[in-house]
Structure 1
Amino acid sequence: MTEDFYCDEVLSGKTEVEKVLETNNVLAYYHTKPFWPVHIVAIPKKHVSSLITLEEEDNELLLELLHVIRKVAAIVTEEHGACRVITNLGEYQDSKHLHWHIVSGEAFR
């Protein structure tokens, strides 16, 4: 896997994705290799390494990102009865680009 799949593949257009919701600064789309029956990823279009590297000037971006996550989570919860909203940090974060997973169902084994 590349260091930043989201910049290198998704945002560059090299990897096509099925969009769920898009704003000027945020993209939510169905995961290309889902781990759950419903698996949506929300990312900022600007490169931010992770949640803990956000800078003060990223506050508006974070608010927009959370707004998209909230809308997508509401849709998933309405359609499937429940969802999880997950972000990973450190060694758990495969791609070093801030991203959130909105998922529902039992994880694939």
Structure 2
Amino acid sequence: MTDDFYCDEVLSGKTEVNKVMETENVLAYYHTKPFWPVHIVTIPKKHISSLITLEESDNELLIELFSVIKEVAAKVTDKYGACRVITNLGNYQDSKHLHWHIVSGEAIKK
């Protein structure tokens, strides 16, 4: 297995997920091991390793990705009163596939 959970497991269908929203190029789903009471992950279906590796040719995909993030974040905010939209880079990024977390509530203590 590589260090890309999203391509290797989610997009391949090996790991089933509870989808929140899906477009032709983007998938939003409930995190399989949540760190917050509400924890949704949004990913492009195309492999892009991180925010800082985006290229100009990814601009349309990025617009679609942020459109989904915006819609999901608005729904979470309407239901729970607030949310955070987070991405990680470098050593903070466990899976080397661009992804955004849409979360609400206090972090779950493990």
Look up the equivalent residue of 2:12 and give its one-letter code: S
In structure 2, the gaps of 5 or more residues are none
For residues 62-73 of structure 1, the aligned pairs below 5 Å read 62-73=62-73
TM-score normalised to structure 2 length: 0.98
TM-score normalised to structure 1 length: 0.98
Amino-acid identity (%)? 83
Match of 2:47 in 1: 47
RMSD between aligned residues: 0.9
TM-superposition CA deviations, 1:43-100 (whole Å, max 9, x none): 0000000000001100000000000000000000000000000000000000000000
In structure 1, the gaps of 5 or more residues are none
Q: In 2, distance between residues paired with 1:85 and 1:101?
A: 6
Q: In 2, distance between residues paired with 1:14 and 1:76?
A: 27
Which 4+ residue blocks in structure 1 deviate beyond 6 angstroms? none
Q: Structure 1 residue 12 and structure 2 residue 47: aligned?
A: no
Question: How many residues matched?
Answer: 109
Q: In 2, distance between residues paired with 1:41 and 1:2?
A: 19
